[in-house]
């Protein structure tokens, strides 16, 4: 199903306040009070493993330390996939369950998605974000150690700055799946994010761009949950399609009081993007 035009090119829609979309239940609260309050850990029950994932948020530290709406969409999809993989929107990206998957999460924030992926899939997950976010990510990974161990999953924490090849080289490229939620919001980060995706999806594990006849040992796919906030979001997808085949996997209907829902996309290599010229294409 390709509904991208509906969700990316609605230029008549007014821009949406990102803070009220991130915190829809707090729209009428005093923002200063809201951001200075330390919240108790949130509990997220995952039915497929009959377990609860516990996440600490630190609102006073900024948006990277809070849960965003698209994260819960991915967690729900992972939960449903564990229960009924044959009818899951994620089935096309999670075909090989005969071994433990290696998963990378970009812009992990609190780490909820990566921790849930490790627990529901029994996967080896590396959660990443900017260096100042790492301490809370590590806290949340350790807080869920028992749930992860009981379900055969592991979570590693590492810093990763988008657009930095050295950071990708340190983490490696041995991933079956890359996940992210609510990472398209600041337009100055579009190209750094796409460069990191190019390095992960279109460059081999030795750091070499591939020719059209070559294939990676395992084709890495990027799955991203996105809640549209700005008209300019469409610029990101236009740039992305220069490099990747972009497909809609799932659409959440808007929640009560919202005008837009969460859309889950997959990004994969396309044959013409495997040669050296397109693997290094300018995104401007």
CA-CA distance, 202 to 207, in Å (whole number)? 9
Is 274:198 a contact under the CB 8 Å cutoff? no
- DSSP state string for 204-238: -TTS-BPPTT---SS--EEEEEEE---TTHHHHHH
| pLDDT for position 94 | 84
Predicted TM-score of the model (pTM): 0.82
| pLDDT for position 281 | 53
Read off the pLDDT of residues 107-154 as tens digits, 9 standing for 90 and up: 999 999 999 999 999 999 999 999 999 999 999 999 999 999 999 999
| pLDDT for position 171 | 95
CA-CA distance, 183 to 93, in Å (whole number)? 20
Q: How far apart, in Å, are the Cα atoms of 133 and each of 63, 66, 106, 130?
A: 10, 11, 12, 6
| pLDDT for position 271 | 72
Helices 112-121 and 134-143 meet at what angle, rounded to 10?
A: 30
CA-CA distance, 136 to 57, in Å (whole number)? 8
User: What average pLDDT score do residues 230-235 get?
Assistant: 87
Read off the pLDDT of residues 183-226 as tens digits, 9 standing for 90 and up: 998 889 999 999 999 999 998 655 555 543 345 456 899 999 99
Which percentage of the chain shows pLDDT scores above 70? 74
């Amino acid at each position: 199903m390709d509904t991208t035009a509906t969700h990316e090119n609605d230029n008549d829609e007014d821009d949406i306040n990102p803070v009220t979309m991130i915190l829809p239940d707090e729209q009428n609260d005093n923002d200063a009070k809201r951001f200075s309050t330390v919240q108790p850990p949130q509990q997220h029950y995952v039915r497929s493993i009959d377990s609860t994932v516990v996440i600490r948020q630190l609102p006073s530290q900024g948006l990277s330390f809070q849960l965003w709406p698209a994260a819960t969409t991915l967690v729900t999809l992972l939960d449903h996939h564990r229960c009924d993989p044959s009818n899951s929107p994620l089935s096309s990206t999670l075909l090989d369950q005969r071994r433990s998957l290696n998963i990378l999460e970009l812009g992990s924030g609190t780490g909820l998605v990566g921790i849930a992926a490790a627990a529901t899939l029994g996967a080896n997950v590396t959660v990443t974000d900017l260096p100042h976010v790492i301490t809370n990510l590590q806290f949340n990974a350790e807080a869920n150690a028992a749930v992860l161990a009981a379900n055969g999953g592991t979570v590693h924490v590492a810093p990763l700055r988008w657009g930095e090849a050295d950071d990708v080289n340190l983490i490696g490229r041995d991933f079956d799946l890359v996940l992210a939620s609510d990472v398209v919001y600041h337009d100055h980060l579009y190209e750094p994010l796409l460069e990191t995706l190019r390095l992960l999806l279109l460059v081999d594990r030795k750091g070499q761009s591939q020719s059209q006849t070559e294939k990676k040992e395992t084709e890495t796919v990027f799955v991203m949950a996105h809640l549209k906030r700005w008209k300019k979001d469409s610029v990101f997808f236009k740039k992305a399609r220069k490099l990747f085949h972009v497909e809609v996997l799932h659409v959440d209907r808007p929640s009560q009081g919202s005008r837009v829902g969460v859309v889950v996309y997959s990004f994969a290599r396309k044959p013409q993007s495997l040669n050296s010229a397109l693997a290094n294409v300018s995104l401007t």
